[in-house]
Amino acid sequence: MTIRDSYDYIIVGSGIGGLYTALLAREHGSVLLLTKGTIEDCNTRYAQGGIAAAVGDADSPELHEQDTLEAGAGLCVPETVRILAREGPTAIQELVRLGVEFDTQQGEVLLAREGAHSVPRVLHAGGDATGANIETALMKRLLESGATVKEHAMLTSIVVSDDGRATGVRAFHAQTGEESEFAGRFIVLATGGAGRLFRYTTNPEVATGDGVALAFRAGAAVNDMEFYQFHPTALHLPGAPTFLISEAVRGEGGVLRNALGEAFMARYHAMGDLAPRDVVARAIDTEMRATSSPHALLDVTHIRASRITTRFPTIYSYCLGHGLDITKQPIPVAPAAHYMIGGIKTTSWGETTVPGLYACGEVASTGAHGANRLASNSLLETMVFGKRLVERTLGRNGGEPDGDRTERVFKLPNRHVPCAQVPPLTLGNLQDLLWRNSGLVRNGDELLWAARVLSVWRTMSRARQAPMKSGQGSDRAANELVNMVLIARLMVEGALVRQESRGAHYRTDFPEPRKEWELHTVFVGEERGWHQPSCASGIPQ
Ligand code: SIN
């Protein structure tokens, strides 16, 4: 192992969280940014809708706060949401300063409407190319900043000193296999989400949740992993990869219809097509089952064609490239895995429970999203709490207390499956298991079966943890799979213990929210020993 240089900040990930914290940190010290692909590979690039902030005349931080709390179904940390909404307008000014050009008309910024927002509040850039515009602007700034960037650096662990402090990271080069260790005063994980755990996802291939696995193994607390948000409308077209069809399309007047052509959302929620995301996703699922159809339809054919092509150029071109003219034909859509609401538990200053280790963006769980994230709050969350994270490393905390969370703490159990055939561990089998047994609609039996299979896969996947020797090619995929099995266990065990339905977590055996579950689930460490088998329990095998 080559021990390389030492830096003030080691930042992992090249989405908005990694780039923005790296830029701010660079004003105060040396920065190493590590990313497992190229600097351009990230989830941020695919964000279509935009960034929510109370900048409109009809809006206020109080209203934004209220909408966020409402969507969060009783599990938001109220102080965190207040900071998010209050700091929103400043974060937008900051993005403008860094070179992001938001869409305007006659000098006024254009604001879109999305689900569960009571007023138009979502700023966008390049129509539906907001994430790509933000990413490009920040990347340009970062490359000019003097920060050191290392691409193809796949992390294998966080180095933790005897007194429990994160002091560095170990990584290998995904193309050469060369191993390195880097020392840092502050380690920041901004590795994004984990959509690749599911068969259908709006996320790119890099979204394998590595940061959660690394932090958990380093001893950090991980919370609310059972809350995984499914986007209601991903393109479902034979031969076309799953592709996000932004909620902003419904904000512009798009109407959801079932296979019989009926507009159905009014039957499910007073906000109709702009109901909270979890409600819309489950309504689509219900209609798909009722009509035995693999998709619902999103109809924009009644909207002026030029409006669609200018407002949604990315979606229009993508669909056209797959033979679908959305100005003339309805779009076949179905729910797909979209956003990891839970993650590494952090304070509103980005601190994890391991001193020296920080997290921001989708990999972090600040408590701002509760049980169901309000659309377009995620880019904002990253900006607001990324800034506070860097301030915290400078010793600032404004004297504000962090919001209290009621929580229940668990250790990750190990389970036996002695009387069943477990399929081999492959990425495809893992994605199928999560999609079927821990997807949009769950139940205890199916979750327990998934938990058992995952326990067995964990023992199978351990041997893969050591990176291959130089010259043997990339071992990135194998390491990602190890990480994904761990993250899947955290999601499934979280879903098993939470015996209720709330926000993005819906269980048919506990279909209502329960007062006693108005709390956060936290997992720290693994149980020793094994849970004994119970083959007679009727678990599907
Ligand atoms: C979308 O454009 O619908 C996605 C926005 C988000 O997930 O916040």
Give me the amino acid identity at 119: V
Ligand 1 lined by 279 (C-beta under 6 Å): no
On the question of pLDDT at 473 being above 60, the answer is no
pLDDT at 400 (0 to 100): 65
pLDDT at 201: 97
Residue 46 has pLDDT above 90, yes or no: no
Across the range 122-141, mean pLDDT stands at: 94
Predicted local confidence at residue 328, as pLDDT: 98
Q: Is 501 in the pocket of ligand 1 (CB under 6 A)?
A: no
CATH architecture of structural domain 408-538 = Up-down Bundle (1.20)
What pLDDT score does 77 carry?
A: 96
- pLDDT digits 0-9 by tens, 3-14: 668 999 999 999
Domain covering 233-335: architecture = Alpha-Beta Complex (3.90)
The domain locations on the chain are 233-335, 408-538
pLDDT in tens, 363-376: 999 999 999 999 99
Token output for 494: 């979280």
Q: Is the CB of 48 under 6 A from ligand 1?
A: yes
Model confidence at 249: pLDDT above 50 = yes
Ligand 1 in reach of 381 Cβ (< 6 A): no
* 277-291 mean pLDDT: 96
Taking the centre of ligand 1 as the mean of its atom positions, its distance from the CA of residue 9, in whole angstroms, is 30
Atom of ligand 1 at shortest range from CA of 374: 8
Q: Is 360 in the pocket of ligand 1 (CB under 6 A)?
A: no
Question: E strands, 200-282, where?
Answer: 222-223, 228-235, 255-257
Q: Long-range contacts made by residues 79-85, C-beta under 8 angstroms, separation at least 24?
A: 79/348, 79/400, 79/401, 79/402, 79/403, 80/348, 80/366, 80/367, 80/368, 80/403, 81/367, 81/368, 83/348, 83/384, 83/385, 83/388, 84/368, 84/377, 84/380, 84/381, 84/384, 84/385, 85/54, 85/61
* Closest CA relative to residue 282, chosen from 241, 229, 342, 244: 229
Q: Which amino acid makes up residue 8?
A: D
pLDDT for 269 beyond 80: yes
Contact 239, 249 (CB under 8 A): no
User: How far away, in angstroms, is 47 Cα from ligand 1 center?
Assistant: 6
- Does position 35 have pLDDT exceeding 60, yes or no? yes
Ligand 1 geometric centre to CA of 234 (Å): 11
285 lines ligand 1 (CB under 6 A): no
Residue 44's pLDDT band, with cuts at 50, 70 and 90, is confident
User: Which atom of ligand 1 is least distant from the CA of 245?
Assistant: 3
Q: What percent of the chain has pLDDT over 70?
A: 93
Q: Is the distance from the beta carbon of residue 378 to the nearest atom of ligand 1 less than 6 Å? A: yes
| Span 507-517, pLDDT tens digits | 999 999 999 99
Residue 442 near residue 508, CB atoms below 8 Å: yes
Cβ atoms of 244 and 200 closer than 8 Å: no
pLDDT above 80 (res 421) = no
Q: Tell me, in angstroms, the distance from the centre of ligand 1 to residue 182's CA.
A: 35
C-alpha of residue 246 to centroid of ligand 1, in Å: 6
pLDDT band at 530 (very low <50, low <70, confident <90, very high): low
Give the per-residue pLDDT at 539.
38
Rounded to whole angstroms, the Cα distance separating 448 from 433 reads 12
List the single range of 215-224, 270-279, 411-420 with lowest mean pLDDT: 411-420
CB atoms inside a 10 Å sphere around CB 77: 24
DSSP letters for 67-116: HHHHHTTT-S-HHHHHHHHHHHHHHHHHHHHTT----EETTEEPEE--TT
Question: Given this model, what pLDDT does residue 47 score?
Answer: 80
Per-residue pLDDT band for 404 (boundaries 50, 70, 90) equals confident
Q: Quick one: average pLDDT of 91-110?
A: 96
Q: Using most ligand atoms within 8 A of CB, pick from 134, 202, 244 the residue to mutate for ligand 1.
A: 244
**CB of residue 376 inside a 6 A radius of ligand 1:** yes
State what percent of residues in the chain have pLDDT above 90.
85
Is the C-alpha dihedral spanning 510, 513, 516, 522 positive or negative?
positive
Least confident of 264-268, 276-280, 463-467, 500-504: 463-467
Question: Which residue's CA lies nearest to atom 4 of ligand 1?
Answer: 49
Q: Report residue 527's pLDDT band, with 50, 70 and 90 as the boundaries.
A: confident
Cβ(128) – ligand 1 distance below 6 Å: no
State how far the Cα of 517 lies from the Cα of 226, in Å rounded to an integer. Answer: 13
Pocket test for ligand 1, best of 203, 246, 312, 377 (most atoms within 8 A of CB): 246
Exactly one of 45, 277, 311, 502 is catalytic; which is it?
A: 277
Q: Is 277 a catalytic residue?
A: yes
Look at residue 96 and tell me whether its pLDDT is greater than 70.
yes
Distance 504 CA to ligand 1 centre (A): 15
